């Protein structure tokens, strides 16, 4: 019997990937804040302090989505497994972006990564609709932020 507290190994694995992406992002960003403050940014770039709470909120939403999907493992259709695969890929890309952008200062590579990251998030939003509409909502919000982040990434790449 499934309860609200049911959790599967897939929930744990996806949650671990969310936390790993968050950790890689933090470890890549923190030592490079001075570099980031000295690069040229577009006029629409949010204040630096905005990014941490937005990303913290998004990571909490992604953990919620991981829990929701993990509860549905019994569904086991191809769409479900493709969503699980894309979720994992998305989280790997998420951590890679921070590393490429902040740690390595590879703005072009980070931009390419950001585009693929956003596309996978949009695909998850679309494909998860018949599976779990709350997961769709999470990935729609995440995709909206990623679209804005892609714009910023592109502008920073052009300006620097």
Domain at 62, CATH number? 1.20.1260
Specify if 23 maps to a domain: yes
Q: Tell me, what's the pLDDT at 1? A: 44
Of the two residues 131 and 54, the one the predictor is more confident about is: 54
Q: Tell me, what's the pLDDT at 10? A: 78
Specify if 108 maps to a domain: yes
Specify if 134 maps to a domain: yes
Specify if 2 maps to a domain: no
> What's the rounded Cα separation, in Å, for the pair 76 and 133?
17
Number of independent structural domains in the chain:
1
For the question of whether the overall pTM of this predicted structure is more than 0.85, the answer is yes
| DSSP state for residue 77 in the 8-state scheme | -
Helix axes 48-70, 78-98, angle to 10 degrees: 160
Domain that holds residue 105: 9-38+46-159
């Amino acid at each position: 019997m499934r309860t609200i507290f049911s959790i599967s190994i897939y929930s744990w694995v996806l949650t671990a990937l969310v936390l790993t992406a968050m950790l890689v992002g933090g470890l890549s960003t923190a030592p490079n804040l001075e570099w980031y403050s000295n690069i040229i940014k577009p006029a629409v770039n949010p204040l630096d302090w905005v990014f941490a709470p937005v990303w913290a909120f998004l990571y909490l939403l992604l953990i919620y989505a991981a829990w929701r999907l993990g509860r549905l493992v019994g569904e086991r259709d191809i769409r479900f497994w493709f969503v699980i695969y894309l979720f994992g890929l998305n989280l790997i890309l998420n951590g890679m972006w921070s590393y490429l952008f902040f740690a390595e200062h590879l703005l072009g590579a980070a931009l390419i990564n950001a585009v693929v990251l956003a596309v996978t998030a949009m695909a998850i939003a679309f494909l998860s609709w018949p599976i779990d509409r709350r997961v769709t909502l999470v990935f729609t919000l995440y995709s909206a932020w990623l679209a804005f982040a892609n714009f910023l990434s592109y502008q920073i790449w052009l300006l620097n």
